[in-house]
Amino acid sequence: MYEKILAENLTVAATEEIVRQILHHTPTKGDYLSQEEISKFIEKLKSKWRGAKFRLIQTRIRSKLIIEIKGSLEESTLKIKKILEKLSQ
């Protein structure tokens, strides 16, 4: 491995990727969303559901969309139900 890193002049990210493949036997397939795509998506969500915070996290093996809604239990329950209703259409 050491020789490969030096011979190919690998970056830290490329070296980490090789180590992950060796340790976890999980190759990276596909591409991440660009930061621009993520920003547009989050802005679109924010415009539909004002007051909610959204975060999108992508890793090689998992993606998460986190929705944070502040307010009382009654308020947040109504907002969650609206979001779930839209997602299930």
Three-state SS string across 4-55, please? HHHHCCCCHHHHHHHHHHHHHCCCCCCCCCCHHHHHHHHHHHHHHCCCEEEE
CB 18 within 8 A of CB 7: no
Residues 38 and 26 in one domain: no
- CA end-to-end span of the chain, whole Å? 50
pLDDT of residue 8: 84
Q: Which domain holds residue 73?
A: 33-89
Residues 41 and 11 in one domain: no
Residues 88 and 58 in one domain: yes
Q: Which tens digits make up the pLDDT trace of 9-65? A: 888 888 887 887 788 777 777 888 999 999 999 999 999 888 889 999 988 778 999
Residues 59 and 16 in one domain: no
Residues 66 and 84 in one domain: yes
Helix (H) or strand (E) holding 66: strand 63-69
What's the total number of domains in the chain?
A: 2
Residues 15 and 58 in one domain: no
Residues 72 and 87 in one domain: yes
pLDDT of residue 68: 94
Residues 56 and 38 in one domain: yes
pTM reported for the whole predicted model: 0.63
Residues 49 and 74 in one domain: yes
Residues 26 and 13 in one domain: yes
